[in-house]
């Protein structure tokens, strides 16, 4: 899947994860300024990274992102005090924001097929517009890749479980594209049978 970003992890060596990545069409990894990225999706971004980073770090761009993030911060405040599930607590996140998913995604057939307990969008106001996008089936949390990598052969989860995680530090990423491509790829991730 072109939209998978592993900006904080090393290249994946765990066989189970490699199998899943292979089904998603991600086979080659290249070094980038902030980590490892799939080649298919980000080769243009890598080539232009320094230029884009300069724009992102500029004062005007920072103010623009701060304006964009205000609705998300308002929604976070509304949700303060509500109970969050164990998954979010384990990850250290405070809020569950399903309502922030684009309507077209929530209404899509692929999304309905996922049978997710919750979908999550978390934001980091200090650095980016959206910091992490993570979707799971109620049994997977956003550090699953790292956990499996640290404990190969010790994973007690279902062997057929598929993991899908997004972690992006670049606000210029087109997240509507990320979401669209992720749901198109669900047949590779246990989210529905291929017709």
**Residues 136-190: tens digit of each pLDDT:** 222 222 333 333 333 334 333 333 333 333 333 332 333 333 434 444 443 333 3
pTM above 0.85? no
Q: Is the pLDDT of residue 134 over 50?
A: no
- Token code pair at residue 30: 């290249």
**Pairing verdict, β 165-167 and 29-32:** unpaired
> Sorting pLDDT into bands at 50, 70 and 90, what band is 63?
low
Work out the average pLDDT over 110-116. 46
Tokens of 155: 């994973």
Q: Which tokens belong to 114? A: 């996922």
Report d(CA 176, CA 136) in Å as an integer: 18
Q: Which residue has the higher pLDDT, 88 or 123?
A: 88
Which pLDDT band holds residue 68 (cuts at 50, 70, 90)? Answer: low
* CB proximity list for 163: less than 8 A, separation 6 or greater: 17, 20, 136, 140, 144, 145, 148, 189
User: What residues pair up with 167 in beta bridges, in sequence order?
Assistant: 6, 132
> Which tops the pLDDT comparison, 116 or 103?
103
Smallest Cα–Cα separation from 127: which of 55, 66, 176, 73?
66
Residue-level pLDDT at 180? 41
């Amino acid at each position: 899947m072109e939209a998978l970003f592993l900006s904080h992890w090393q290249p994946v060596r765990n066989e189970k994860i490699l199998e899943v990545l292979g089904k998603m069409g991600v086979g080659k990894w290249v070094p980038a300024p902030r980590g490892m990225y799939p080649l298919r999706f980000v080769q243009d971004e890598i080539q232009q990274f320094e230029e884009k980073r300069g724009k992102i770090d500029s004062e005007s761009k920072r103010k623009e992102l701060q304006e964009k993030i205000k609705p998300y911060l308002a929604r976070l405040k509304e949700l303060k005090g509500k109970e969050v599930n164990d998954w979010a607590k384990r990850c250290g996140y405070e809020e569950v924001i399903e309502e922030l998913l684009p309507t077209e995604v929530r209404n899509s057939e692929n999304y309905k097929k996922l049978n997710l307990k919750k979908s999550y969008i978390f934001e980091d106001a200090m650095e980016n517009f959206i910091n992490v996008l993570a979707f799971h089936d109620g049994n997977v949390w956003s550090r699953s890749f790292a956990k499996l990598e640290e404990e190969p052969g010790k994973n007690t989860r279902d062997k057929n479980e598929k993991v899908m995680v997004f972690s992006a530090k670049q606000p210029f990423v087109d997240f509507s594209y990320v979401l669209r491509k992720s749901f198109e790829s669900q047949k590779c991730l246990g989210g529905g049978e291929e017709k």
